[in-house]
Structure 1
Amino acid sequence: MVTLVNLRAYWRFLVVLYQFFPLIVAYTRDKRKYLLFGGGRRVTTEMRVERADILLESLLTLGPTFIKLGQLLSTRPDILPPEYIEVLGTLQDDVPAAPWDESKAVLEAELGPVEEAFDAFDTEPISGASLGQVYVAEYEGEKVAVKVRRPGIEDLVEADLRVIRWSMPLLMRFIGEGRAFSLENLADEFAKTIREEMDYAEEAETLVEIQENFADDDTLVIPEPIPERSDDRVLTMEYLPGTKINNIDALDDLGVDRTELATNLQRIYLQMIVEDGVFHADPHPGNLSVTDDGRIIFYDFGMHGEVDPFIQDKIVEFYIAVANQDVDGILDTLIEMGTLSPNVDRQVMGDVMELAIADARGDDIEQYRVNQILEQVESTIYEFPLRLPRNLALVLRVAGVVEGVCVTLDPEFDFISVATDYLTEEGYREESVQKIIEGVGQQGQKTAQSLFRVPPKLERVLDRADRDNLTLNVRLEDNRGVLDKLAKRLIYGIFLSFGFVSTVIIYALNPENLVAVGAAGAPTGVVALLLWRSFRSRKGLRATPQFTRQNLKERRRE
C-alpha cells in the first residue's frame, strides 16, 4: 500500500521537476546545443551567475528542505563552481512564521497545556527559520526562550529527502564522475544533517558540551537549557537578549572595543575547532549578539560540526604554513586532509597559492587574510575535482563567515596575526618546530644509511650497462586516453590520405564515371568527418590551465 509520505513525495517530485526544468534544459544544451544534436557550447561566467540566481529562486520557492540544501551546497566548492557558491552563500534561513495555533499544538503534544507548562507565553515569535521558530515565555519567574519545531515539517522533510534521492540519477548526467561521487555522498550527508538539526534533544546536548568547554572563559555566554521543559521537538533555554554583533553604531554607543570583540570571536572558534573538536557551525550575525559588557552570546546550536584529531592537527599545520608563507606546506596539508588529489598539478596550484598570498599581502609581510587564500583555493577546487569531507567543508565555511564578521567589526582585523598568537600561546608552533627537528634527524639517519646501501647497487647497475644487459621498463600513465586519441587520429589520417589518392586516381582514369568516383569518395568523406570531429571534441587533449596574476585579477573582477 502506498503511504501518504510516498504520495506526497511523488507530488513534490513533479513540483521540483517543474521548478528546475529551465536549468535542466540549459544543462542539456551545454552538451548538445540543439538538445538532440549539435556540439557542446562554452559556458561563460555570466551564464553561471544567471543560472545560480535561477537556482536560488527555485530553492526559496521549494521551501525549508531545499533552503537547507542550498545552504549546504554553498559550503561545497568541490561540487559547484565558485559563481554558484557565491550566490548560494546569500541564502538566508528565514521564512514566514507558522500560525500560533499550529505551534501551540506541537507544544501541547510535548509538554501539555501551555498555561500549565509556563507562567506566561508570548505567542508572537521573535525569530523564524525553516525548521523551527523561537518564542519568549516565563518559567519559574524567569524569562526563557522556547524553540519549537515547525508544525508538519517532519513529513515534508521526509518526502523531500525521497525526491532528492530519486533525482540523483538525473543530476549525475550533468556532472563529471568525480563530482558525481561527491554529490551522491552529499545526499546521504544532507539527510543525516537535517534530521540531526530537527532533533532538539541533540542540540541541547551540544549546547551543554560547548558550555562546559568554555566554563572558565568570560568572553562568551551560552544560554542554559531547561531540561524539564525540553524534548526532541521543543527546546527551552535561558533568555539572553543582546545587541546584534553587526550593529556597529549600537556597539559604539555601549563603548565596546570592537577590535577586542573580533579577536575574542576568532579565538573562541580556534578553540572550538583546534582544541575541543566540536563547534557552532552557523556563525552568521543573526546567531551572534553582544552583552552590554562586551561578551559574545551564541544562539542556535542546531547546526554544529565535529573535527577528529587528525584534521585538527592538519588545520594547525595549515595555519602555520600560511603564517610562514610556506606554499609547499600549504599544499602538503591540503593533500593530507583529502582536500586536493595527490595527483594534482603542484606547479599550477603552487602558482595559485603564491599569487593569492602576494595579492593579499599588505605592508607587513603577515598582513593578509586567510579567507582570500581560501577563495582562490575554492575557485581551483572546481577545476581540480576532489572529495571534500563534510566537516572540513563546514570548517572552511565557518572560517570565511567568522572572518567576515570580524572584518565588519574591525576593517583592519588581521586574522593570521590572531591565529598565530593563539597557536603560539597554546604551544602549537613550538610543537611544529620540534616535529621539524625530529623529521630532520630522521631524514639525516636515513641519508646516512643510504650512503652505505646505494654504492653497491649503483655498481651492479653500471656493470649490467657495460655488458649491454640493462633493460629499462617504462610505464606511461594515460588516464585521459590521450594516446588512444592520437592513435585514432593517426589511423583516420592514413585512411583519409589513402581514400583521397584513390579517388583522384579513379577520377583521372575515368572522369565521366561519377558513380565510381562517388563510391570511392563517400568513404573518404566519412573518414574526413570523423577526423574533424575528433579535433572538435573537448575531451582528450587539453592544455594545462595557466594561472597568472592577470588571470586571477580578471577572475576576481568577474
Structure 2
Amino acid sequence: MVNLVNLRAYWRFLIVFYQFLPLIVAYSRDRKRFFVVGSGRSVTPEMRTKRAQILLDSLLTLGPTFIKLGQLLSTRPDILPREYIEVLSSLQDEVPAAEWAEAKQVLEADLGPVGDVYDEFDTEAISGASLGQVYLAEYGGEKVAVKVRRPGIEELVEADLRVIRWSLPLLQRFIGQGRAFSLENLSDEFAKTIRQEMDYTREGRMLNEIRENFAGNDDIRIPNVVDEVSGPRVLTMEYLPGVKITDLKTLDEMGIDRTELATRLQEIYLQMIIDDGVFHADPHPGNLAVDDDGAVIFYDFGMSGRVDSFIQDKIVEFYIAVANQDIDAILDTLVEMGTLSPEADRQVMSDVMELAIADARGEDIEQYRVNQIIEQVESTIYEFPLRLPRNLALVLRVATVVEGVCVTLDENFDFITVATDYLTAEGYREETIKRVAGEVSNQLQATTQSLVRVPPKLERVLDRAERESLTLNVRIDDKNKVFDKLAKRIALTILLAVGVLSSAILYAFGASWQPAVAVAAVTLPIGFLLYRSFRKKKKGLRASPQFTRQGLKEQRRKD
C-alpha cells in the first residue's frame, strides 16, 4: 500500500510540476530577469490577477485535494496577495459525482447490500463535492441523506499530501521568511483537516456534540445522525430540506427578515467559538439553508474544529477592544495570540486598524486615506508581520466566510454592533472589566509594597557606596562575541604598531637593511589579519522590518 502511494505520489509530483511550471518560470524571472543574471522584475496587480487565474485553472485540473487547498488559500491573506484571494474565492467545492456503481461499492463494503439496508435509495446524487457525494434515501419510514465517500479518494489524497510536502522547499524559495512560516503551518493544518474530513465517524461525533450544545434553541437546526447505518465512509443523517441562505428572492417571498437572519447566524457562530469551543468550519452558502420557520439549517460537518480556552479569551478581548475602538488593546491582543509580530510598526498597524473599524461600521472615510493606506495594505498584506497559528486557521476561515454570507443577506450589516451586543448580553464585557480591575488592583498592591520596601534597601546601598565597600558583579551576554573581536583587533593593532615602529627604527639607525626587512615581513601578515577582521562579512540571518512606512513607499514606487 505504501509503495503504491509512493509511486502514485511520484507520478502526481510530475503532473503538479507540469501544471505549475508557467508560474514557477514567472516567479523565477521576478527574482532574476534572465533566471541566472539580471535584476528583479516589478509585478503589477494586473500580472498578479493573470497569474491567479492560471493558479485557479491548475487547481481545478489537479482535482479534489487541490480544490480543497485552493479554498483554504483563499482565506489566507498572510500567504497570498489580494488579487489571488479574490480569484480563488470563486473556487467552489463542486465536482461531478462519481458513477453510482463505484459509490455503491463503497457503501456496501461498509454497510452491506443497499436493498437490505435502506427501504428506498435514489441512485442520483443530489450533490457532489471533492471528497464525498450525497444521496437521498428512506430508512425506517423517514427520509434520510446518505453521504458516501468518493471512491479511491484516500489514495489520491495521501499521494497529493506527499506532493505538497515535497513541494514546500521549492515554494519557499519564492516567498519571504514570514510567509514561509505561514505556508508550513498551512500545509500541516491542511493535511490534518482533510484527513479528518474524510473520517465520517468523526464528523458524526462533531455533529452530535454541536447539536447538543444548541439543544432547545429554535434558531438553528442540525440533522440527527442515524448511527446504525453509518460508518467511517458512510454517514446517514436526518434529511432537512430548506432554502439556500443566499436565495434572497425566495427568502423575501417567505417573509424572512434578512437582517435578523444575519444577526442570528453571527450569534450562532459566536456561541460556537466563544462559548462552546467547537464549531462548524465550512459555512459557505451551500452548507447553510433556512426552513419555513426561519431557522438556520447546517449541513456538512466534515470541516469542523475546536478552540482552546486561551484563544477563546483572546477572541473576547479582541472583540471588546474593537467595540471600544481601543487600538492599542487590539494590537496587544493580536500579539498575545501570536498573529502579529511584536516588532511590527505599531503606528502603521494602528492606521490600518482605524480604517478597518471605520469601514466595518460603514463610516465615511476620506478617499485619499483609503488610497494611501488600504490599497497599499491589501496589496502587501502577505508581507505583513502577520502570522496565523495553526489553531486560528479555521477560525479565520469561518470569520471570512460568515462575513460574506451576512453581507449578502444585508449589505449594511454591522458586525461590531452584533458582536458587542452578544458579549454584553452574555456578561463577557463585565467579566473582562472585572478581570482588568483585578489585575490593576494587584499591580497597585505590588507597587505599594515596593514603595515600602525600596527606600530602606536603597539607603543601605548608598551607605555601602559612601564607605567605598560597594561591589558590582556585571555579567555581559555577548552571544555575537563582540568583545572577543574587539580584543583581537586591539591586540593586532598594538602588534602592528610595534612592528612598523621597530622596522622604521632598524632601517633608520641599523647598520644594514636586512633586519628591518625581516621585521616588516613578520609585521605584514599582522596588518593583513587586522584588515580582514574589518572586512569579514557577518554570518547568520539579518533581520529587517517586514512592514514599515519606507516599505510602503518602495511598494508604491514599484506599483
Normalised to the residue count of structure 1, the TM-score between the two structures is: 0.80
Distance 1:331 1:259 in 2: 30
Given that 2:185 and 2:390 are in contact with CA atoms closer than 8 Å, whether structure 1 keeps it comes out as: no
Distance 2:377 2:424 in 1: 26
* Alignment partner of 1:246 is 2:249: no
Report the CA distance between 1:390 and its aligned residue: 2.7
Report the CA distance between 1:408 and its aligned residue: 1.8
Report the CA distance between 1:72 and its aligned residue: 1.8
What residue is the counterpart of 1:429 in the other structure?
429
Given that 2:242 and 2:291 are in contact with CA atoms closer than 8 Å, whether structure 1 keeps it comes out as: yes
Identity of aligned residues (%): 71
What residue is the counterpart of 1:545 in the other structure?
548
Report the CA distance between 1:376 and its aligned residue: 9.5
Distance 1:213 1:359 in 2: 33
Distance 2:136 2:144 in 1: 6
What letter corresponds to residue 92 of structure 1 in structure 2? Q
Q: Deviations over 1:394-417 (max 9, x none)?
A: 212211221221222222322111
Aligned length in residues:
488
Distance 1:50 1:456 in 2: 72
RMSD between aligned residues: 3.4
Q: Deviations over 1:192-217 (max 9, x none)?
A: 11111000010000000000000121
Report the CA distance between 1:64 and its aligned residue: 0.2
Distance 2:188 2:82 in 1: 23
* Alignment partner of 1:413 is 2:416: no
Distance 1:179 1:409 in 2: 34
What residue is the counterpart of 2:282 in the other structure?
282
Q: Deviations over 1:465-501 (max 9, x none)?
A: 9x9x9999999999xxxxxxxxxxxxxxxxxxxxxxx
Report the CA distance between 1:314 and its aligned residue: 0.3
Report the CA distance between 1:77 and its aligned residue: 2.5
Report the CA distance between 1:344 and its aligned residue: 1.6
Q: List aligned pairs for 1:135-174, cutoff 5 A.
A: 135-174=135-174
Bigger mean CA offset, 354-363 vs 402-411: 354-363
Gaps of 5+ in 1: 366-372, 479-533
What residue is the counterpart of 1:490 in the other structure?
none
Using a 3 Å threshold, how does the CA distance of structure 1 residues 84 and 461 change in structure 2: closer, same or farther? farther
Distance 2:473 2:404 in 1: 60
Report the CA distance between 1:275 and its aligned residue: 0.3
Q: List aligned pairs for 1:75-224, cutoff 5 A.
A: 75-224=75-224
Report the CA distance between 1:177 and its aligned residue: 2.6
Given that 2:28 and 2:174 are in contact with CA atoms closer than 8 Å, whether structure 1 keeps it comes out as: yes
What letter corresponds to residue 182 of structure 1 in structure 2? S
Using a 3 Å threshold, how does the CA distance of structure 1 residues 297 and 360 change in structure 2: closer, same or farther? closer
Distance 1:376 1:427 in 2: 38
Distance 1:428 1:336 in 2: 19
Distance 2:548 2:300 in 1: 43
Distance 1:46 1:244 in 2: 34
Report the CA distance between 1:4 and its aligned residue: 2.3
What residue is the counterpart of 1:326 in the other structure?
326
Bigger mean CA offset, 430-439 vs 269-278: 430-439
Using a 3 Å threshold, how does the CA distance of structure 1 residues 453 and 330 change in structure 2: closer, same or farther? same
What letter corresponds to residue 250 of structure 1 in structure 2? T
| Higher relative contact order, structure no. (Cα contacts within 8 Å, ≥ 6 residues apart) | 2
What letter corresponds to residue 3 of structure 2 in structure 1? T
Report the CA distance between 1:191 and its aligned residue: 1.6
Given that 2:287 and 2:298 are in contact with CA atoms closer than 8 Å, whether structure 1 keeps it comes out as: yes
Report the CA distance between 1:386 and its aligned residue: 4.2
Distance 2:546 2:308 in 1: 38
Given that 2:179 and 2:383 are in contact with CA atoms closer than 8 Å, whether structure 1 keeps it comes out as: no
Bigger mean CA offset, 452-461 vs 81-90: 452-461
Which of the pair has more CA radius of gyration? Answer: 2
Bigger mean CA offset, 19-28 vs 446-455: 446-455
Bigger mean CA offset, 386-395 vs 332-341: 386-395
Q: Deviations over 1:222-267 (max 9, x none)?
A: 0101011110000000011001111111111112222221111111
Distance 2:99 2:86 in 1: 33
What residue is the counterpart of 1:48 in the other structure?
48
Given that 1:221 and 1:295 are in contact with CA atoms closer than 8 Å, whether structure 2 keeps it comes out as: yes
User: Any idea what SS the aligned residue of 1:18 has?
Assistant: helix
Gaps of 5+ in 2: 366-372, 481-536
What residue is the counterpart of 2:295 in the other structure?
295
User: Any idea what SS the aligned residue of 1:3 has?
Assistant: helix
Normalised to the residue count of structure 2, the TM-score between the two structures is: 0.80
What residue is the counterpart of 2:534 in the other structure?
none
Distance 1:108 1:19 in 2: 36
* Alignment partner of 1:317 is 2:320: no
What residue is the counterpart of 1:528 in the other structure?
none
Report the CA distance between 1:27 and its aligned residue: 0.9
Report the CA distance between 1:387 and its aligned residue: 3.5
Distance 1:303 1:377 in 2: 30
User: Any idea what SS the aligned residue of 1:382 has?
Assistant: helix
Given that 1:281 and 1:305 are in contact with CA atoms closer than 8 Å, whether structure 2 keeps it comes out as: yes
Report the CA distance between 1:463 and its aligned residue: 11
Given that 2:132 and 2:148 are in contact with CA atoms closer than 8 Å, whether structure 1 keeps it comes out as: yes
What letter corresponds to residue 105 of structure 1 in structure 2? Q
Distance 1:169 1:291 in 2: 48
What letter corresponds to residue 176 of structure 2 in structure 1? G
What residue is the counterpart of 2:31 in the other structure?
31
* Alignment partner of 1:396 is 2:399: no
